[in-house]
Chain A
Amino acid sequence: MIVEDELSIQRIYKILLTSFGFEIIGMAKNGEEAVNMYKSFLKKPDIIIMDHRMPVKDGIEATKEIQQIDKNAKIIFASADITAEKLAMSLGALSFKIKPFDNERLINNIKEKLGIEPFSEKVKNLV
């Protein structure tokens, strides 16, 4: 699941993640949408890519609420706002990616957290 208010970044996430075989089961434009979307999933997403600075509700608040729903929810923060890193990690985020970050790092981080083959190998396979 992607939580990101920037449409262009949403588009990139979509291209990137689907390229690596990840299914994006939902994209929320703000924290509020993210929480509602998470509630609505019968099958919860394996991982959530969470931006922090968003309108209506930010990533930290959304993380807290999602954790109330599912304390095991896996969340990777991907934000340009470095000030949120410490708080996000204290809430149990798997990692905090500071924009701009490498695609490979994001993918590897996702795979690592999900226990999947790293990106570089996949790319080799693609080629």
Chain B
Amino acid sequence: MNINLEEKRFQKYLDFAGVLIVVIEADQRVSFINKKGCELLGYNKEDVIGKNWFDNFIPETMKNKVKSVFDELMAGKIEPIEFFENPIITKKGKERIIEWHNTILKDEQGKIYATLSSGLDITERKKAEEKIKHLNLVLRAIRNVNQLITTEKSCEKLLQGICDNLTETRGYFTAWVALLDNSHNVIMTAESGLGENFLPIVETLKKGEFTKCSQIALTQSDVFITEEPYLTCLDCSLSRKYEGRAAMVVRLEHGEKIFGWLSVSIPRNVVKNEDEQKLFKEVVNDIAFALYSIELEEEREKVEKALKERMKELEAFYELSKIVEEPDITEEILIQKIVNMIPKSMQYPEITCARIKLKGQEFKTENFEETKWVLKSDIKIFGELKGTFEIYYLKEKLEIDEGPFIKEEKALIDALTERLGKIAERMEVEQKLKESEEWLFTTLRSIGDAVITTDTKGNIIFLNPVAEYLTCWKQEEALEKPIEDIFNIVNEETHKQVENPISRVLREGVVVGLANQTVLIDKNGKEIPIADSGAPINDDEGNIIGVVLIFRDITERKKAEKELIKAKTFSESIIDSLPGIFYLFDEKGKFLRWNKNFEEVTGYSGEEISKMSILDFFVGDDKKHIAERIQEVFVKGKSTAEADFISKSGKKTPHYFTGLRMIIDNIPYLGGLGIDITERKQIEQKLKESEENYHQAFKRAEFYKDIFAHDINNLLQNIKSSMELLSTFKNVLEKSDEVNELTNIIEEQIVRGSKLVWNIRKLSQIEETEDILESVETFQVLKEAINFIQKSYHNKEIDIQIDSQIKQGFVQANELLLDLFENILFNAVKHNENPKIEISVKISKVDKDRKKYLKFEFLDNGIGVPDALKEQLFKDISSIKRKTKGMGLGLLLVSKILSIYNGQIWVEDKIKGDPSKGSNFIILLPEVI
């Protein structure tokens, strides 16, 4: 009984122990467990006793290990470990960490038959220790991270360092971070503890496909926890690494900017720890701050760099400005200085050289060498390419912005080039302006007129030497004085003050001139007649900025004017007194001057003439002729012409015109005289007629001579032949008839000869003397002529009858009427072969062409006139051909006499159509009633 009580008491004592006590037999079954043990396990005693301790109450992961220790203990291979820790599994499946104190139980024989283990539940202590440990690790990690943050300026290195630190200090199992840009694209990643497993994630991140946890974390500021990613994030390739682990993801945020997110894996048992989360959040915030700082720093550096470059640019421009402002600097020196200052504006001055090519010249730095690392910019002056600005690096440098030169440098060079272009433009303009000013100044100073300029208030700015002379004011004295003080003008006659032209210019803004008869009173009171004009000086916008007054002493001019007026009056008198017409006109024919005669001859008034052209006074061919002569004057200097000058009434008067080219005020004019040549023309006409008459007379004389010579030769031939035959036939009785005939022939020739001479004389008489006609009775004259013929040809039988119904007839004639009738009758006798010559003279009165005539028809029985000869017989000698015989001198005389009498003559057949039967010479003489 005592043993049982003792056992029960012992059992009670063991149950009161605060530790787990368990006895495990050699077969690994539990033979005893105390109350604490049952409480820890959560089993009733009955459920535990007899069960295999290791199979039922030790976690699978530890089973073999613990079992092997037990086996070794039971085998006596190892001594019991004082304190041995291993977990047990409760009924609820939870693990509790137990710190075991093990003892082996031996029987009397000393054989080990069981272990007696007391175990203290150190689960909470372990948790706390782990937590502390973990926190320490985290803290260390955080400390390292903070150190990193303060030292690392590279974003990439910072993130990688952070991830490494977080895992290396074993605060976390794995860590990875993703950085986003402003467009929410992943621009950078870093990891630690994931290795190659991270690569697929990087790919998907770059595609914009974020992990679920990342997506959630980006939407909240708190830490996002995934307790069992291994189980819940099956679509994430990283989840394989999260077995037994939890994940925390939080966004990297500072201010309002989200830089990305950080994801870590940690022990599951600590993930829910608030302190853990807080620490994580803190480190993440620090990281975000670091990123912000880096960004800021980068920004700052950028700005600083930009500022630095800008400073370089400003310095370059400042230096450029200083160079430009150097007094009297030439373009060449300027450009050389510019090119020398360039290298120090570049990021690598020691390897920089420069060259400027401008207007055919080259300017280089001392170390200049052409290389392939060049920056060029074109220099333009007034829009035209004039040169280049070149910068070379002598060594290769890292390519930054499409080359070794940064864009700021490119911009600097472009700016400098542009500036240089502007400077060159400005220098050119300044040079031109200077030249222009010098020219203007020289011109003003050397101009022959006085020049005064004032400002808009009328105060003197400038006096040229002539103005100084005329006003007797020196420029330095007159400067800034009012114009009225210097330029005192009055009317020459009244001596009343005249308004200063400058006042008027300022008031009206236009060019003004002085009134006539204005005199300037100089400083000494001397009066000088002047002529002047004032004009506004305007700026580019048309605003008046001053006035210029130009004036001159016209004393001499006035004198000259008076002389001129005098000369003009004199010359006008001369011109007006010139014989003929005087004219002065320009190349267009417009009159500048003419004399009174011109008006009188043309009948046009001065006003009318002033509006006319010279060619208005000519018509037809004369106009063309005159135009050509005018042209000749302007080209060759002088010419003459003759043409009819047309007056206003249309009367044409022949004139001889002279033309001389004159230059008046640099304009060519034609000046000349026109002389009426009517009289001369008449004389010329008369001379011409005389010449013509002489020529005709000569021609006639030749003609007469020719006929006379021919007739005389024939006459002589007749006489000669007759005489020779007579000589042959003398004393030859049988030839008595021939002798008689020959004698008659000789006689006839004598008559013919004397008639010939008579006719020649008469012809001459007609040519030489003026014909005075009077009323002559024709019948008487005819009878006289008949008598003469009959006497002359006394050896011929000539029967001449007058057949007339009128007894008398008067015609306008003279003594030549007798010759007329005689020659007609002679002709009729001469050209008659018949032994009896019959001539009938029919006289009648006829009306022809409303005129009254006496008609004389001389009908003969002679040889007649062939039809071919009829028309030719009485033609003018000028149309007669020498080779055929026309009329003889006798008929020629008849024709001449009839032309004086205005009579007519023609020949017809006596018997119409049969010339061989004789002729009918018909004469018409104008009757005197």
Contacts and interface: CB of A to CB of B under 8 A. Distances in A.
B716 interface: yes
Contact of B868 (A5, A6, A56, A60): A56
Interface stretch (A66-74, A94-102, A110-118): A94-102
B716 A53 contact: no
Given A54-B884, A55-B869, A81-B710, A100 B725 contact: no
A57 B918 CA distance: 20
Interface string B711-739: 00110111111101100110010010010
Nearest to A12: B721
Interface residues of A, number: 35
A6 B711 CA distance: 10
A80 B711 CA distance: 8
Interface in A29-58: 29-30, 32, 52-58
A80 B713 contact: yes
Nearest to B749: A8
Contact of A7 (B725, B830, B869): B830
B713 A8 contact: no
A63 B600 CA distance: 71
B721 A16 contact: yes
Residue picked from A9, A60, A102, A104, most chain B C-beta under 10 Å: A9
Interface residues of B, number: 37
B831 to A, nearest CB: 7
Interface stretch (B357-365, B740-748, B759-767): B740-748
A20 B721 CA distance: 14
Nearest to B872: A55
A67 B618 CA distance: 63
B885 interface: yes
Interface in A1-38: 5-9, 11-12, 15-16, 19, 29-30, 32
Contacts of A19: 725, 728-729, 735, 738
Nearest to B738: A15
B724 A102 contact: yes
A7 B732 contact: no
- Interface of B, secondary structure class, is helix
B92 interface: no
A58 B881 CA distance: 11
A80 B866 contact: no
B105 interface: no
A123 interface: yes
Interface string B208-230: 00000000000000000000000
B235 interface: no
Contact of A100 (B716, B735, B863): B716
B396 to A, nearest CB: 117
Contacts of B724: 102-104
A12 B214 CA distance: 170
Interface string B173-199: 000000000000000000000000000
Contacts of B748: 8
Given A12-B745, A58-B883, A123-B728, A7 B710 contact: no
Contacts of B869: 55-56
Contacts of B328: none
Nearest to B710: A80
A30 B885 CA distance: 10
A121 to B, nearest CB: 13
Nearest to B721: A12
B745 A11 contact: yes
Interface string B801-834: 0000000000000000000000000000011110
Given A29-B863, A32-B866, A99 B725 contact: no
Given A12-B721, A30-B866, A56-B866, A7 B884 contact: no
A56 B865 CA distance: 10
Nearest to A51: B714
B714 A80 contact: yes
Contact of B732 (A52, A58, A60, A126): A126
Query: 5 tightest CB-CB pairs across the interface, nearest first?
Result: A80-B713, A99-B717, A100-B716, A100-B717, A99-B713
Given A15-B742, A100-B721, A104-B724, 7 more contacts: A11-B741, A11-B745, A15-B738, A32-B868, A54-B884, A83-B882, A84-B883
10 contacts: A6-B714, A7-B863, A9-B718, A58-B884, A80-B713, A99-B713, A100-B713, A100-B716, A100-B721, A102-B724
